[in-house]
Amino acid sequence: MIKLVGLVPLLPLIGFVIIGLFGKTLSKTIVSVIGCGSILAAFAISLGIFFQLTGQAEKSVPVELFSWITAGKLSVPFSFLIDPLSSLFLLIITGIGFLIHVYSVGYMSHDEGFARFFAYLNLFIFFMLLLVLGSNYLIMFVGWEGVGLCSYLLIGFWFKNTAYNNAAKKAFVMNRIGDLGFLLGIILIFVTFGSIGYHDVFEQAKNMASGSPVLTSITLLLFIGAMGKSAQLPLYTWLPDAMAGPTPVSALIHAATMVTAGIYMVARSNILYTLSPIAMETVAVIGICTALFAATIGLAQNDIKKVLAYSTVSQLGYMFLALGVGAYTGAVFHVLTHAFFKALLFLGAGSVIHAMSGEQDIRRMGGLKKHLPITHITFLIGTLAIAGCPPFSGFFSKDEILANAFEHNKLLWFLGVLGAAMTTFYMFRLYFLTFKGDFRGTKEQHHHLHESPKSMTMPLVILAVLAVVGGLVGIPEALGGKHFLEAFLKPVFEDSTSRLPTLLSHDTEYMLMGIAVIVMAGSLYYAYTVYVKNKTLPAEESEELEPIHLLVYKKYWVDELYENAITKPLNMFSDILHKLVDNQIVDGFVNGIGRFITWFSGIIRYAQTGNIGFYVFVMVIGIVLILCTRIF
Amino acid sequence: MATTHFTTYIFCFLAFLSIMFALMVVLSKNPVHSVLYLVITFFTIAGQYVLLNAQFLAAVHIIVYAGAIMVLFLFVIMLLNLNKETEPHKSIWLKASASVASGLLLVVLVGSLKEATIQPINAFNPNIGLIENLGTTLFKDFLLPFEVSSILLLAAMVGAVMLGKKSIK
Amino acid sequence: MSSAIQVIPLQWYLLLSTVLFTIGVLGVLFRRNAIIIFMSIELMLNAVNLLLVAFSSFLSDSKGQVFVFFIMAVAAAEVAVGLAILMMVYRNTKSSDINMLNKLKW
């Protein structure tokens, strides 16, 4: 089965080519069959690869497809690396990708860009698979750029809306800032190790001293790339704006897969990070800051997708916290469970928006429980999972991260628990305001309320089941389980874990779990009191807000800060360059040359007397001179 | 010995005549006289050809140059009624500079050719100037240029006719 | 009759040709009458012809003489066209003075 790995990215690519070229002439049925079918086939192969890998002793299988670039010292084969980490990501991408494709068939059924949407989605899956499958940083970079492109195309999918286009541009530019760091990191890796293949780099890195400056530089540069792609402080502002895209896109790209590329990259380079403590600390600090920062913003947002977007940023922060404290398995575990419940939540939100005829403001919703029973149940499961209610999947992964953070630094743990409490609060706030209470929308919307079609509810149900049981792959030993995921991923993180021993007693773990559950329950109860018992509603736009509330509601004015601190000075600077340097100096120089030549030729053209005799005379003199130089 | 001297004398005589009449072509005031002097110059050059065993070429030279081209010149002069000394004089300064320039050219050319030596590769063959040899070379090695030159002549003819028409409308 | 080239040095022919050629150049520089200038050009062509024939005899190679034929053909064509142009010029300017033809300057 591993031999067929080339087909995994190839099938979505073929799907993209067919739909992209002939999408306009094909019927919607054929488009959806090709779109979903190619992903399903890729998923089937991924599943086969996964089981073959679990069954065999050799855990790291390189598959070389062809020689790609050979230039001087640089030799990059186009090859894939099958190991537990990549095969797990294969399953997440193709599995959730397939469910979201199916969901999109229903969600996008009335859109005129149906075929275009599926073409982009297939292209995205192709690049994402390339990203995780590559056996060197260059292929990862190709995938990295490709998913950025697809993200851009899909955020601006409804390109007739200027605001959406601006959101797409913003995402693209922000990502480019990160990509530059990533690219510099790759170049530095090549300069340092003379290769960019994972195997060569990691083997050489193992023998380097911990904390060497070059490793720190490499890891920090790579982390800048991860910051951009995974929406960490300070490059996170694009992700909430990216909600301009269709909801399935938000679920697939901006929750489940693409934004976890940064986590994948750091986890893949785990040995490099383990060997540079400074980078580890940076990752952890940035992670926890992002987690808290985004969570506070999430507390006050009224757009159902914006809340989920900030929640995603916050959860990504948790993943980086896990990476920063050396809990690589925990990070990947959280990627897995987060992919389940966040995709579920986004698709649920999509279902709600679908039912509400495009309304996204939770102040206009409420009481949807009766009208959307399946969506309601699945959304509740997703909310419980993200809040970390045992035994839902989020509990186990978040618990693992917090336990590792506790061991690493008590303050990180405390902040993490604080963030978890806020997560619970804003998620239940969202849930209560949407599904409980009375309907607050217009009559027309009320009349129009309906449960979504099968193609949309089916993925919801499957994802809900996964969100419930997904945590079972990683039950910690303290609870008498076997951590399957840890055992499975062990070959990938072996070198790092041996350097970062974990010595947490089971009693401490019980205590931590207890605290987490109590905090979660308290936060849930508080949300219940505020939004169900007291029926508090978020303030309308016109109302005056308290300073802190306003600060959070306005997202700390970060966008405005960037606008004024970076964009405007840059625009001013480029204006100066344009008007002064380019128009005056450069153009002046070029035009000056032209003017000088015109002036000079105006003088010397008087030598052209038009007198043939004179010409001949000059010619004879010329001949004499030439002969003179030849002879004498 | 006597023949050697004889040939040398003929050469010197012809060379003297060529140079003298060439100068007179340039210096004479009347264009018709110039043409006639040029014809004489051509005859002396034809004499040189004969001395060089290029008898056929000498005949062609006289026919083409003296017979055709120079008659054309004369014809044009008569047609335009230029047989008077109508030419306006150039300034002294120009004449002086022209003389100096050509004199310089002569000096330099002579200076550059003075050292030139050349070794004959083939054994001496007095028959190369005969029509048989020339014909063979012309139609064997130079067939394509020969045909192309016919096109050139045709083009020249058409051009001359077009230009000579009273007015082109 | 033995060839002159066997008794007369090649240098003499070179010298003669050079002198004739220079006289042609002098004519072009010296005169303003277009017809005389034309004739001077013919003179120069003939100087070259003479040189070619001298070399041809000296090397016993008939190719040089064939070249003279081509030069004659070109000269004939040139004279035909040139004189036609001269006719037109005269018709337009009532003069064969080349100093009248200076409209193309600047």
Contact C106 A612 (CB under 8 A): no
Cβ-contact A489, A329 below 8 angstroms? yes
Interface test with A, best of C25, C89, C97 (most A CBs within 10 A): C25
Q: Which of B83, B110, B141 is the last residue of a domain?
A: B83
Q: What is the dihedral of CA B166, B71, B21, B27, to 10 degrees?
A: -20
- Report CA torsion sign: A179, A185, A186, A187: positive
Shortest CA distance to B57 belongs to which of B133, B149, B156, B141? Answer: B133
Q: Of the segments A389-393, A492-496, B70-74, which one has the largest average pLDDT value? A: B70-74
Sequence-distant (6+) residues with CB within 8 A of A341 are A381, A382, A385, A386, A392, A393, A394, A463, A467, A470
Predicted pLDDT of residue A159: 84
**Pairs of CB atoms within 8 A across B/C:** 244
C91 has a pLDDT exceeding 70: yes
B94 within a domain of the structure (yes/no) = no
Chain B residue with the nearest C-alpha to that of C94: B80
The stretches of A470-505 forming alpha helices (DSSP H) are 484-497
Closest by Cβ to C87, choosing from B76, B95, B128? B76
Low-confidence winner among A191-195, A381-385, A435-439 (lowest mean pLDDT)? A435-439
Shortest CA distance to C18 belongs to which of A211, A313, B22, A241? Answer: B22
pTM greater than the 0.80 cutoff: no
Whether B14 and B68 share a structural domain: yes
Domains of chain C: 8-98 (1.10.287.3510)
For A248-279, how does the pLDDT look when each residue is reduced to its tens digit (9 = 90+)? 888 888 877 888 888 898 888 888 888 888 88
Whether B78 and B131 share a structural domain: no
Closest by Cβ to C29, choosing from A609, A610, A616? A616
Q: Which two tokens stand for residue A308?
A: 């989920």
B159 within a domain of the structure (yes/no) = yes
Closest by Cβ to C50, choosing from B48, B105, B155? B48
ipTM over 0.85: yes
Closest by Cβ to C102, choosing from A606, A611, A617? A611
Predicted pLDDT of residue B91: 72
Which CA distances in Å does A248 have to A101, A140, A151, A434? 8, 24, 12, 19
Q: Give the whole-angstrom CA distance, residue A278 versus residue A210.
A: 10
Contact C74 B152 (CB under 8 A): yes
Contact B105 A624 (CB under 8 A): yes
Predicted pLDDT of residue B1: 44
Task: From chain B, pick out residues whose CB is under 8 angstroms from the CB of A617.
Answer: 97-98, 101
Shortest CA distance to A282 belongs to which of A333, A215, A190, A209? Answer: A215
B167 within a domain of the structure (yes/no) = yes
DSSP helix, strand, coil percent of chain A (3-state; round to 5): 75, 5, 20
Whether B71 and B138 share a structural domain: no
For B159-168, how does the pLDDT look when each residue is reduced to its tens digit (9 = 90+)? 888 887 776 5
> What is the mean pLDDT of the segment spanning A459-486?
79
C-alpha distance across the termini of chain B, in Å = 69
Interface check for C22 against chain A (CB to CB < 8 A): the answer is no
Buried b (16+ CB within 10 A) or exposed e, A402-420: bbbbbbbbeebbebbbbbb
In chain B, the number of structural domains is 2
At A131, which helix (H) or strand (E)?
helix A114-133
B166 within a domain of the structure (yes/no) = yes
> What is the mean pLDDT of the segment spanning A539-564?
74
Check which CATH number belongs to the domain holding B12 and give it: 1.20.120.1200
Contact C99 A620 (CB under 8 A): no
Neighbouring chains of A at 3+ CB pairs under 8 Å are B, C
Confidence of residue A488 (pLDDT cuts 50, 70, 90): confident
Predicted pLDDT of residue A303: 84
Q: Which of B48, B83, B118 is the last residue of a domain?
A: B83
3-state SS class at B53: coil
Task: From chain B, pick out residues whose CB is under 8 angstroms from the CB of A613.
Answer: 90, 94, 98
Whether B16 and B74 share a structural domain: yes
Contact C102 A608 (CB under 8 A): no
Q: Which two tokens stand for residue A459?
A: 């993925």
Q: Which of B55, B83, B111 is the last residue of a domain?
A: B83
Predicted pLDDT of residue C4: 63
Shortest CA distance to A119 belongs to which of A85, A70, A157? Answer: A157
B115 within a domain of the structure (yes/no) = no
Contact A609 C101 (CB under 8 A): no
B37 within a domain of the structure (yes/no) = yes
Alpha carbon A583 to its chain centroid, in Å, reads 40
Whether B16 and B73 share a structural domain: yes
Q: Give A621 to chain C, closest Cα distance, Å.
A: 11
> B134 is in which domain, residue-wise?
127-169
B120 within a domain of the structure (yes/no) = no
Task: From chain C, pick out residues whose CB is under 8 angstroms from the CB of A615.
Answer: none
Q: Which two tokens stand for residue B41?
A: 């110059």
Q: Give C93 to chain B, closest Cα distance, Å.
A: 12
Q: Which two tokens stand for residue A151?
A: 């993200």
B102 within a domain of the structure (yes/no) = no
